[in-house]
């Protein structure tokens, strides 16, 4: 029964984090859309301005992709909860430390396996 309560706690953490990220993602996308509309008002751009605009769009795209990636990781974690495999390392199959899951509730690797992956 203790395990079930913990799983529900993690489910709530994941759902809350997903809602927060989706809200922030909508705000960021709205800001990006506003900037793109502002750019269309300018006919003549100095080359330096065009370079800055290109950099900003690349940065915005990267931020957008990061939100999408984390939201998908959260969705995967919620599916693992439903499937009964949440909290198990995808690489070695051992339980992921609860402290790690509290910090990153969508973590898929134990600390040892994460370190191995990062060293590569």
Q: What is the pTM of this model?
A: 0.78
Secondary structure of residue 70 in the 3-state scheme? helix
Q: Residue 51: its pLDDT value, please?
A: 73
| Category of 87 on φ-ψ map: left (φ > 0), alpha (ψ -120 to 50) or beta | left
Cα(105)–Cα(52) distance, rounded to whole angstroms?
36
Q: Residue 42: its pLDDT value, please?
A: 55
**Tokens 């992709």 label which residue?**
65
Model confidence pLDDT, tens digit, residues 60-112: 889 989 999 999 999 999 999 999 999 999 999 999 999 999 999 999 999 99
Q: In the structure encoding, which two tokens stand for residue 8, read together? A: 């529900």
Model confidence pLDDT, tens digit, residues 27-53: 888 866 666 555 555 555 666 666 777
**Residue 55 — pLDDT band, cuts 50, 70, 90?**
confident
Tell me what the mean pLDDT of segment 7-19 comes to. 96
**Residue 1 — pLDDT band, cuts 50, 70, 90?**
very low
């Amino acid at each position: 029964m203790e395990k079930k309560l913990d799983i529900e706690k993690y489910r709530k953490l994941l759902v809350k984090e997903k809602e927060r990220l989706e809200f922030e993602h909508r705000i960021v996308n709205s800001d990006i859309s506003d900037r793109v509309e502002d750019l269309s008002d300018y006919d003549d751009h100095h080359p330096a301005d065009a370079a800055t605009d290109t950099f900003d769009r690349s940065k915005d795209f990267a931020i957008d992709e990061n939100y999408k990636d984390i939201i998908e990781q959260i969705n995967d974690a919620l599916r693992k909860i439903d499937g009964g495999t949440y909290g198990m390392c995808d690489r070695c199959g051992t339980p992921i430390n609860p402290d790690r899951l509290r910090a990153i509730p969508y973590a898929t690797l134990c600390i040892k396996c994460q370190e191995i992956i990062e060293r590569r």
